[in-house]
Structures are given as C-alpha cells and as structure tokens.
C-alpha cells in the first residue's frame, strides 16, 4: 500500500463533481495501517495508545480508530462530545485540559472522564471545586521537539508543570485529599527523529516513582510524517525497539504491576490518509510571478500560513511541462499562499489540484473566515467506495441563526 492516499485524475474530478470543491478525502486503509504500526510499538500488556483527536475529529474517523483498539484524548468539551458520539466510553477518554474553566472540568467530571491539569493554579481550582478524588497532571519534562516553535511544548512554553514544582503538586493534592492517578506529557508535534522523545520518556519514568498511587503514565504524541516526498520516514521499528525496552525496564521496577503506559499520536494516524482537493479559478502573471488561484484558502487549510508548512501538491492535468508556480487561495490577504515557486505543470481554469498529507490539522483547523462555509469530507473504504462523512457547511448556517 502507498504511504499516502493516491487518486487518479479521473477519480479526483469525479469526487469534486459529486461532492463539490474544496473537498477533504480520506483513505480508511491508510488510517488502519498507521494505527497498527502504533499499536506494535510495545507488547507490554498495559500499553494503551490514545489518539489525539485534535488532529481530526471527524466522527467516522474516530470510529475507525476506536475499532483499531485506541482510546482518545480530548482538549475541550466539543472533542469529548465527538468522541462520545463515536462510541468512546468515559474510561477511554483523557481530558488534557489547558487553562480551562472549572465549568469545563465539571463537564468532564460529570461524565466520569479523567482530567489532567496543566498547572498548580488549575490543580488548586480542581481541588477547591470538589471534583473527583482521582486526577492527573501534565509534566513538562524540559525537553521539546517539533516542526515549528509554535508547537514545541516541552521546555520553555506555557505547558505543564516543571519538575521543580512537583512538591507543589504533592502539597495541593494532600490539601484537597486528591490522588494523583496519572501523569501525562507531550513534548511537541512532528519529529522524524525520536531521540528527544525517548529522552523525555526517561524523565517521565523517573518522575513516576515520586507518585505512589499512579495508574497510568502517558508519554505523549508528536510522531511525524514526511510532508516532502523526498524526506525519510520516522523509523517506527527502531522507535519500537528502544521504547519497548524502556517501558519494560520501567514497568519491571514500578510497584503498580498493572500501570498503563500510553502514547498519544494524532497526526501520525491521519495525516497521510487525507488529500484536499480544490479547483483552479484563475491563472495570472503579476510582477513576474505566475499565480494559480484556487478555492483552498487558509480558511480551508491553515498549516502553510500558520507554520510555513510544506505540503506536496498535485495538479491533475495532462500537461507535462512544469514551470515555477505560486499557488494561492481565495482569501482577501496577500499571505494566503499554499506554496510558492513550486515546479508544477501549469493548470487551466477548472482543473483540480490536490494538497497531500492534509488529513491532520486540516479540517480540524478550518474556519469560516471571509464567511466561507467549511468544506465537505469524504471517506474511501478499502473496496474503493466513497462516502460522505461530513456535509459541506451551508451559507445559511454562517449567520448563526441571527438573521
């Protein structure tokens, strides 16, 4: 099976004809393959991978991931509701909160969902609110990794509780009669070399010996995928070998023989399954540059504008000759650029383009900026059938019922 979803020109054109443009299309087989690779990272019986649903919260994708034996994390009540709709039970959801209101904590607690707090300030609020005895906290292990400073969360960042504040955790827990049942961490998003991840795992394992009632630890996600076709993949075989050794050493020494060890990838499970199809609406020369204008603005795919991220681009055309092109969206900002100076075949108005690796942080970061409805999502099953899994938003829904 190919690493990424592949579509022939005819199929791409038919999908756009049937469901409209722009359109997110996902390949179920690729999601299942990635799930199985993550599950194979460790054979420890208490190894429980979580899917970090922020990467893509489509309920049909959540169902596929659940059927592969995953649990989930949640960042908000909205994610909790999507996960419940996909069939996840409270014991399968971890609410990894970050600067949330007590009402949001209560929302999760009322449903029996474990909450991990992100600061001593939030742990105090949790305790004062009389929320369930068992709770968890997010450790900041002082080591970070990721594709952009905006998503490196270990080390100097707003996230988690530093090691030197652990006495504070014990103190607040004792004050309110709380039991620290879990510690999670996440050092950042998208690494293709797992050295930092493994080093940070060590910090978590050591910290875990300071909390006697632990039921789980969660090493976090961040497993990267190659966005450029020329990049190498994250070596999951090598990661598995090193990580499972560390997990085995840790669990052999830890007093709770049933302690669960979790990892929490988002992007890795869904990124390569997705392609974003769009339509070319203009081709123009301006100040020496050739601009290809499409309907894929940063309201539809934000990553290139937000992080300067690279996505490989396919132009579905029979024209073979390439030239330097700048691909833009239709948003009224000059920064609305998907790709600059790419060697690609010149399309004609009406041609379809495909943005690869769009399955993670694509739809989930899409907005209605410029008052454009969010696109539809379609799933391709292993037998090649296509199925609508989220309707395109309607223009009427944008008014929010106010007019």
Ligand X SMILES: Cc1ncc(COP(=O)(O)O)c(C=O)c1O
Rounded CA-CA distance 244/114 in Å is: 25
Binding-site string for ligand X from residue 307 to residue 326, where x marks contact by CB under 6 A and - marks none: --------------------
We find the least distance from the C-beta atom of residue 354 to ligand X, in angstroms, to be 22
Rounded CA-CA distance 362/56 in Å is: 8
We find the least distance from the C-beta atom of residue 183 to ligand X, in angstroms, to be 12
We find the least distance from the C-beta atom of residue 175 to ligand X, in angstroms, to be 26
**Closest CB to ligand X among 32 and 267?**
267
- Beta carbons within 8 Å of 82's beta carbon, 6+ residues apart: 53, 57, 59, 62
Query: Phi and psi of 178, rounded to 5°?
Result: -90, 150
Give the pairing type, strands 93-96 and 114-117.
parallel
- Enter the tokens of residue 243: 């990580």
- Enter the tokens of residue 344: 């690609």
Binding-site string for ligand X from residue 185 to residue 224, where x marks contact by CB under 6 A and - marks none: -x--xx-----------------------------xxxx-
**Closest CB to ligand X among 54 and 71?**
54
**Closest CB to ligand X among 266 and 278?**
266
Distances, alpha carbon 251 to alpha carbons 180, 193, 209, 261, in Å: 18, 24, 11, 9
We find the least distance from the C-beta atom of residue 67 to ligand X, in angstroms, to be 20
**Closest CB to ligand X among 51 and 126?**
51
**Closest CB to ligand X among 12 and 181?**
181
Rounded CA-CA distance 382/376 in Å is: 20
SS3 state at 354: strand
Binding-site string for ligand X from residue 219 to residue 258, where x marks contact by CB under 6 A and - marks none: -xxxx-----------------------------------
Residue 322: which of 345, 340, 341 has the closest Cα?
345
Does position 266 bind ligand X by CB under 6 A? Answer: yes
Told to judge if 403 belongs to the known catalytic residues of this protein, a careful annotator would answer no
Confirm if 19 and 376 have CB atoms less than 8 A apart. yes
Does position 32 bind ligand X by CB under 6 A? Answer: no
**Closest CB to ligand X among 71 and 186?**
186
We find the least distance from the C-beta atom of residue 169 to ligand X, in angstroms, to be 18
We find the least distance from the C-beta atom of residue 188 to ligand X, in angstroms, to be 7
Residue 138: which of 113, 163, 167, 171 has the closest Cα?
163
Does position 155 bind ligand X by CB under 6 A? Answer: no
Range in contact with ligand X (rule: CB under 6 A) among 51-59, 101-109, 229-237, 242-250: 51-59
| Catalytic entry in 332, 396, 402, 403 | 332
Does position 354 bind ligand X by CB under 6 A? Answer: no
Rounded CA-CA distance 119/159 in Å is: 8
Distances, alpha carbon 97 to alpha carbons 6, 80, 105, 391, in Å: 36, 12, 8, 29
Query: Phi and psi of 389, rounded to 5°?
Result: -115, -5
Residue 211: which of 134, 129, 119 has the closest Cα?
134
* Category of 339 on φ-ψ map: left (φ > 0), alpha (ψ -120 to 50) or beta: beta
Range in contact with ligand X (rule: CB under 6 A) among 18-26, 183-191, 310-318, 329-337: 183-191
Does position 267 bind ligand X by CB under 6 A? Answer: yes
When binding is defined by CB under 6 A, the residue of 55, 74, 145, 277 that contacts ligand X is: 55
**Closest CB to ligand X among 153 and 279?**
153
Confirm if 117 and 123 have CB atoms less than 8 A apart. yes
How many amino acids of this chain bind ligand X (CB under 6 A)? Answer: 18
Binding-site string for ligand X from residue 79 to residue 118, where x marks contact by CB under 6 A and - marks none: -----------------x----------------------
Give the pairing type, strands 93-96 and 71-74.
parallel
Catalytic amino acids?
332
Binding residues vs ligand X (CB under 6 A): 52, 54-55, 73, 96, 151, 186, 189-190, 220-223, 264-268
């Amino acid at each position: 099976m190919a690493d990424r979803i592949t579509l022939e020109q005819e199929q791409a054109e038919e999908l756009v004809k049937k469901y409209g443009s722009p359109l997110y299309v996902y390949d179920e087989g690729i999601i299942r393959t990635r799930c199985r690779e993550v599950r194979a990272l460790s054979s420890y019986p208490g190894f429980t991978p979580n899917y970090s649903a922020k990467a893509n919260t489509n309920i049909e994708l959540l169902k596929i991931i659940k059927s592969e034996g995953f649990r989930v994390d949640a960042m908000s009540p909205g994610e909790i509701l999507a996960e419940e709709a996909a069939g996840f039970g409270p014991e399968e959801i971890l609410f990894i909160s970050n600067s949330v209101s007590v009402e949001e904590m209560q929302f999760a607690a009322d449903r029996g969902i474990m909450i991990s707090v992100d600061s001593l300030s939030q742990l105090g609020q949790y305790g004062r609110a009389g929320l369930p005895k068992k709770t968890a906290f997010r450790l900041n292990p002082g080591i970070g990794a990721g594709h952009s400073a905006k998503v490196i969360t270990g080390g100097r960042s707003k996230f988690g509780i530093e090691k030197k504040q652990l006495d504070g955790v014990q103190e607040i827990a004792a004050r309110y009669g709380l039991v620290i049942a879990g510690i999670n961490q996440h050092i950042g998003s998208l690494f293709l070399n797992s050295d930092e991840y493994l080093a940070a795992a060590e910090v978590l394992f050591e910290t875990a010996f300071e909390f006697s009632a632990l039921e789980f630890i969660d090493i976090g996600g961040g497993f990267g995928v190659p966005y450029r076709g020329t990049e190498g993949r994250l070596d999951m075989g090598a990661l598995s070998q090193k990580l499972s050794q560390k997990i085995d050493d840790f669990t052999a020494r830890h007093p709770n023989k049933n302690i669960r060890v979790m990892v929490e990838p988002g992007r890795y499970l869904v990124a390569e399954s997705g392609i974003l199809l769009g339509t070319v609406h203009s081709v123009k020369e301006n100040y020496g540059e050739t601009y290809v204008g499409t309907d894929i603005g940063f309201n539809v795919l934000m990553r290139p504008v937000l992080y300067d991220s690279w996505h490989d681009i396919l132009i579905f055309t029979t024209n073979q000759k390439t030239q330097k092109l700048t691909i833009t969206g239709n948003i009224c900002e000059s920064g609305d650029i998907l790709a600059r100076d790419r060697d690609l075949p010149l399309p004609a108005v009406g041609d379809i383009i495909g943005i690869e690796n769009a399955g993670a942080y694509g739809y989930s970061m899409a907005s209605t900026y410029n008052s454009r409805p969010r696109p539809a999502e379609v799933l391709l099953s292993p037998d090649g059938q296509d199925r609508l899994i989220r309707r395109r938003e309607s223009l009427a829904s944008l008014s929010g019922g106010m007019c």
